[in-house]
């Protein structure tokens, strides 16, 4: 029980005529990284947004660490969650340092504690110190993604939600950020749900993989299991793109 970070119970989500999620039953384990993989439009972002309460399901229930989401208490719940998206989703009018520390400020953390945590994360993701006073538009894509990770991790959340955070990066920058991501996983244990359409990234960074197609879970298991026995052609095709 306590090993379950997120539980989706009979989840469906409809947008008007589109069924984005179709009776999803799924458990995401604590302390490990789970990659949610599927082609564009398969429902990955929808599933992630149901976790932080940005959206409510049309049917079914989402449980976070054993409790059903209380939509009246989203701000409290979100303190336990870090969320980062493709492009960083940074506040354009705030500097890098302000972006990273805003959540802790709002939580009235002491200035010393804020600085300690920020310095630790900035070091962990290899963000150059001279970037801290810049604004998001003055950063490269890789730098923005690093800032976004720091911001998501500032409050040391027990759950980290990542929606294609590395998709827009060139292969070399992606390689570096992947290394930093692995460092981060080792440094602090938490449940991570990583949405990606890139199976290579999933294999590299995740312990478990959940494959979805047209709003349905197709396969769910350890990385090695999925590689050893892909359930159908959809999964094999995704795996074909993995080069090593
Ligand atoms: P993914 O992240 O895997 O690309 P999404 O969860 O964004 O998939 O979308 C799943 C399906 O729901 C797609 O068919 C998409 O077009 C549809 N969809 C997503 N968001 C909306 C919305 N706000 N209104 C209508 N349809 C949507
Ligand atoms: Mg998406």
Per-residue pLDDT of 140-188, as tens digits, reads 999 999 999 999 999 999 999 999 999 888 889 899 999 999 999 999 9
Cα-based angle 167, 4, 182 (whole degrees, multiple of 5): 35
Residue 2 confidence class, pLDDT cut points 50, 70, 90: low
Which ligand is in closest contact with the Cα of 213?
1
pLDDT in tens, 23-50: 999 999 999 999 999 999 999 999 999 9
Which of 11, 17, 20, 217 for a ligand 1 pocket mutation test, highest count of atoms within 8 Å of Cβ? 20
Listed residue (33, 26, 28, 25) closest to 4, CA to CA: 28
202 pLDDT higher than 60: yes
Which ligand is in closest contact with the Cα of 212?
1
Residue nearest to atom 12 of ligand 1 (CA): 20
135 pLDDT higher than 90: yes
Which of 15, 24, 193, 196 for a ligand 1 pocket mutation test, highest count of atoms within 8 Å of Cβ? 15
Q: CB-based contacts of 201: which residues, under 8 Å, 6+ apart?
A: 35, 166, 174, 178, 194
Average confidence (pLDDT) over 63-73: 95
Which ligand is in closest contact with the Cα of 211?
1
Alpha-carbon span 150 to 12, nearest angstrom: 32
Alpha-carbon span 240 to 93, nearest angstrom: 42
Mean pLDDT for the chain overall: 94
Q: Dihedrals φ, ψ of 94, to 5°?
A: -110, 150
Which of 39, 41, 197 for a ligand 1 pocket mutation test, highest count of atoms within 8 Å of Cβ? 41
Residue nearest to atom 16 of ligand 1 (CA): 41
18 pLDDT higher than 60: yes
Q: Is 171 exposed, middle or buried (0-12, 13-18, 19+ CB in 10 A)?
A: exposed
Ligand 1 centroid vs 130 CA: distance in angstroms? Answer: 38
- Supply 211's token pair: 């494959």
Q: Dihedrals φ, ψ of 226, to 5°?
A: -65, -40
Dihedral angle at the C-alpha atoms of 49, 52, 57, 63, nearest 10 degrees? 130
CATH topology for 1-73+197-244? Rossmann fold (3.40.50)
DSSP of 12-68: EEEETTEEEEEEEEEEEETTSEEEEE--TTSSHHHHHHHHTTSS--SEEEEEETTEE
Element (H, E) at 139: none
Ligand 1 centroid vs 226 CA: distance in angstroms? Answer: 25
Provide the pLDDT for residue 109.
97
What percent of the chain clears pLDDT 70, i.e. is strictly above it? 98
Ligand 1 centroid vs 40 CA: distance in angstroms? Answer: 9
Q: Is 108 exposed, middle or buried (0-12, 13-18, 19+ CB in 10 A)?
A: exposed
Q: Where are the domains of the chain?
A: 1-73+197-244
> Measuring from each residue's beta carbon to the nearest atom of ligand 1, which residues come in under 6 Å?
15, 18, 20, 38, 40-46
- Supply 86's token pair: 């493709």
Which ligand is in closest contact with the Cα of 210?
1
242 pLDDT higher than 80: no
Average confidence (pLDDT) over 127-146: 95
pTM given for the model: 0.94
Provide the pLDDT for residue 241.
77
């Amino acid at each position: 029980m306590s090993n379950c970070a997120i539980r989706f119970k009979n989840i469906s989500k409809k947008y008007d005529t589109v069924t984005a999620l179709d009776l999803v039953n799924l458990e995401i384990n604590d302390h490990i990284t789970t990659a949610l993989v599927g082609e564009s439009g398969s429902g990955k972002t929808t599933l992630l947004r149901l976790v932080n309460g940005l959206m409510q399901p049309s049917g079914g229930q989402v449980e976070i660490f054993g409790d059903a989401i209380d939509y009246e208490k989203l701000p409290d719940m979100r303190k336990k969650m870090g969320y980062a998206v493709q492009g960083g989703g940074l506040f354009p009018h705030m500097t890098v340092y302000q972006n990273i520390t805003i959540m802790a400020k709002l939580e009235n953390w002491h200035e010393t504690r804020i600085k300690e945590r920020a310095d630790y994360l900035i070091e962990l993701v290899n963000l150059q110190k001279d970037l801290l006073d810049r604004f998001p538009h003055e950063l490269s894509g890789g730098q923005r993604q690093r800032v976004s990770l720091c911001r998501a991790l500032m409050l040391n959340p027990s759950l980290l939600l990542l929606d294609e955070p590395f998709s827009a990066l060139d292969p070399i920058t992606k390689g570096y950020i992947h290394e930093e991501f692995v460092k981060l996983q080792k440094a602090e244990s938490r449940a991570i749900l990583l949405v990606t359409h890139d199976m290579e990234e999933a294999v590299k960074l995740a312990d478990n993989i959940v494959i979805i197609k047209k709003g349905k879970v197709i396969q769910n298991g350890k990385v090695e299991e999925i590689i050893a026995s892909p359930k159908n052609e959809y999964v094999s095709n995704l795996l074909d793109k993995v080069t090593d």
